[in-house]
Amino acid sequence: MPFGDVYELIRLEALTGSISLVAGLIAFVIGFAALSWILRKLLRNTFPPKKASLGVVLFWSIIPMLGIIMNISPERNLPIAYIPLMFLPMLSSLFMKYFSVLSKQETNKNPYNVAEK
C-alpha cells in the first residue's frame, strides 16, 4: 500500500500504481548495487577481493536474520510470505560475488586471451 507523497500522487492521478512500483524497484536495485559496490570497495582496502566480496554477502545476510527474529517475536505480526523475500538481497549479492570473482580469475590467467577457461 503506497503512503505519503506517492499515495497523494496516485490519488491525484499524476502517477499510477504500476509506475510507482516500477520506479520503486528501479530505485531499490540501483541503491542495492551502489551500496554493494561501495562496501566492496571499502573492504578491498583491508581484505583480498574474495574476502571483501564475502563481507558484502555477510552484510546483506543481516536482513534475513533480523526478519526471522521479528517473526519469532510475539509482538510482531510479520507474514511468513515475507521470509523468502528477505533472502533476495543476500542471494543477489552472492550471485554478484560469484560472477565478479569468476570474471576476474578468468581475465587474470592470460591477459591476451580473456575467454580462456
Domain assignment present for residue 116? The answer is no
Domain assignment present for residue 45? The answer is yes
Domain that holds residue 52: 4-109
Domain count across the chain: 1
> What pLDDT digit, counting tens, does each position of 81-117 carry?
888 888 988 888 888 777 765 555 555 555 565 554 4
- Mean per-residue pLDDT for 10-17? 78
C-alpha cell at 53: 566480496
Say if CB 2 and CB 18 are below 8 A apart: no
pTM of the model: 0.65
- Mean per-residue pLDDT for 32-39? 90
Task: Please list the alpha-helical segments (H only) found in 1-117.
Answer: 4-11, 17-44, 49-60, 62-72, 82-86, 88-109
Residues sharing a CB contact under 8 Å with residue 115, sequence separation 6 or more, in sequence order: 106
Say if CB 46 and CB 59 are below 8 A apart: no
Backbone phi, psi, residue 75, to 5°: -75, -25
> What pLDDT digit, counting tens, does each position of 77-91 carry?
777 788 888 898 888
